[in-house]
Amino acid sequence: MITCLVQYTLLIPFYVNILMVYAFCNTHDVSWGTKGDNNNNGGGSSAQPIAGKDGKKLMQVEVPHEKADVNATYDDLVNDLKVRVFEEKQHRDAATKKDDYYKLFRTNLVLAWMFSNAFLVVFFTSNTWNRYVHEKIADGAYNPYLSFIFWSVTCLSAFRAFGCVWYLILRLLYG
């Protein structure tokens, strides 16, 4: 115990903060910016996949060497961009809708957590809070910030425990 006490004591704040960040921010596995991008709509697809040595997949790209080839390729790409491709409206099945709903909920949870943390930082670093602490606390025996932290952790832990018990009860009743 004595051999690792210093390291443990120094790492406790990092564990608490980092684990909370990962606990909230890893609640979803959303790949940002790729929703609905399931097909290849133009943009010049001169790269072709080929099988290379050792069974690895490689991309073969044709690079034009002549100036006329470069200009012709550019003109072809500009003409491709002028043609409007009408996208079919993709109909989502029930499983996809449910998955999207859960992803939206998890994203909103992370955003609410981030904004609440930003609000707490602004509030506790404001002059109003500092004046309140200095006026109300003459002897320094009562620290409202620590009281807030203790009570919020207590309430959140109680809420988490209630949610776990409720989930177990529902799981036992409804399978």
DSSP at 86: P
Asked whether 60 and 48 are in contact (CB, 8 A), the reply is yes
Tokens of 40: 């290849």
Ranges 32-41, 103-112, 166-175, most confident:
166-175
Q: pLDDT tens for residues 10-26?
A: 888 777 777 777 766 66
Of 141 and 15, the one with more pLDDT: 15
- In this predicted structure, the answer to whether residue 136 has a pLDDT above a threshold of 90 is no
DSSP at 59: E
- In this predicted structure, the answer to whether residue 58 has a pLDDT above a threshold of 70 is yes
Write down the pLDDT at residue 162: 93
Strand (E) or helix (H) holding 14: helix 5-25
Q: How far apart are CA 12 and CA 121, in angstroms?
A: 21
Collapsing DSSP to helix, strand or coil, 47 comes out as strand
Overall pTM surpassing 0.85 (yes/no): no
- In this predicted structure, the answer to whether residue 157 has a pLDDT above a threshold of 60 is yes
As a three-state string, the secondary structure of 130-155 is: HHHHHHHCCCCCCCHHHHHHHHHHHH
Write down the pLDDT at residue 173: 92
DSSP at 85: P
Write down the pLDDT at residue 13: 77
Write down the pLDDT at residue 166: 93
Of 98 and 91, the one with more pLDDT: 98
Across the chain, what does the average pLDDT equal? Answer: 78
Nearest-10 Cα torsion for 120, 123, 126, 130: -100
